[in-house]
Chain A
Amino acid sequence: EAQVTQNPRYLITVTGKKLTVTCSQNMNHEYMSWYRQDPGLGLRQIYYSMNVEVTDKGDVPEGYKVSRKEKRNFPLILESPSPNQTSLYFCASSHATSQSSYNEQFFGPGTRLTVL
């Protein structure tokens, strides 16, 4: 089954304790992205990756890191989480073409993060 998986699905942590949210896709997609979703603010892009070893900042990259060492995986790293990073996080992937990196994006199930 074609899918994007995220782990963990729920996480409660404390300020300053490093954490990683994993994202994996089995569709051989070139493009992967991380979003956060907050009430009233919609989905905002954190980082994206157009292929292995190619990453770039989205709209709200502060406080986050990513890496793309393998095509299927795109982990999101919070080195020192703060309460304002409490949010619902989605990973997404899509097949990239020469016209656009965006065709149909497939979203993971989401990770609800609470930072105390």
Chain B
Amino acid sequence: QKEVEQNSGPLSVPEGAIASLNCTYSDRGSQSFFWYRQYSGKSPELIMSIYSNGDKEDGRFTAQLNKASQYVSLLIRDSQPSDSATYLCAVVDNAGNMLTFGGGTRLMVKP
């Protein structure tokens, strides 16, 4: 059973701070990694994808991947109250066919 683990939170940060969200996965052969944001009662939306080790930046978001340690993280700089949501980590298996989601981390950004 492939597993993707996230701390359920809530993670509370003040407005303007950096929010750090972490995810670990069990399938060493995993090849693709995604971060989705889900507002309460809404469907998930993709905010970042990362495929190789290192950092990938997109605006206020930075995804970090370390395949040797089997973890992927998401940094949100200058956090805003509108960033308050549940963040889902998703990992594609070695064959490229199965996508497994973590349970999500609830982020709360306080004004």
Residues on A close to B: CB < 8 A? 33, 35, 40-45, 48, 50, 56, 58-59, 90, 99-105, 107-110
Q: How far is the CA of A59 from the CA of B27 in the complex (A)?
A: 15
User: Roughly how many angstroms separate A75 CA and B96 CA in the complex, as a whole number?
Assistant: 23
Distance in angstroms from B23 CB to nearest chain A CB is: 11
A90-B44, A109-B43 known; A42 vs B96 contact (CB < 8 Å)? no
- The docked-state distance in angstroms from the alpha carbon of A45 to that of B97 is 11
Please state if A100 and B32 are interface contacts (CB–CB under 8 Å).
yes
Partner of A100, one of B90, B92, B101: B92
Tell whether, in the assembled complex, residue A44 and residue B96 are in contact, meaning their CB atoms are under 8 Å apart: no
- Whether A59 pairs with B96 at a CB distance below 8 angstroms is no
CB of A4 to closest CB in B, whole Å: 8
Centre residue among A43, A58, A59, A104 by max chain B CB count within 10 A: A43
Interface residues on B, range: 20 to 34
Chain A, Cβ-Cβ closest to B101: A43
B17 at the interface (CB under 8 A from A): no
4 nearest CB pairs, A to B = A107-B43, A42-B103, A100-B96, A43-B101
Report the nearest A residue to B41, measured CB to CB: A110
| Residue from B8, B43, B100, B102 whose CB has the most chain A CB atoms within 10 Å | B43
Can you give 19 A-B contacts (C-beta < 8 A)? Answer: A40-B8, A41-B103, A43-B88, A44-B101, A48-B98, A58-B98, A99-B31, A99-B96, A100-B31, A100-B92, A101-B92, A101-B97, A102-B32, A104-B46, A105-B34, A105-B44, A105-B99, A108-B43, A109-B42
Chain B residues near A48 (CB, 8 Å)?
97-98
- Closest B residue to A48 by beta carbon equals B97
Judge whether B62 is part of the interface by a CB distance below 8 angstroms.
no
Tell me the bound Cα distance from A92 to B107 in angstroms.
24
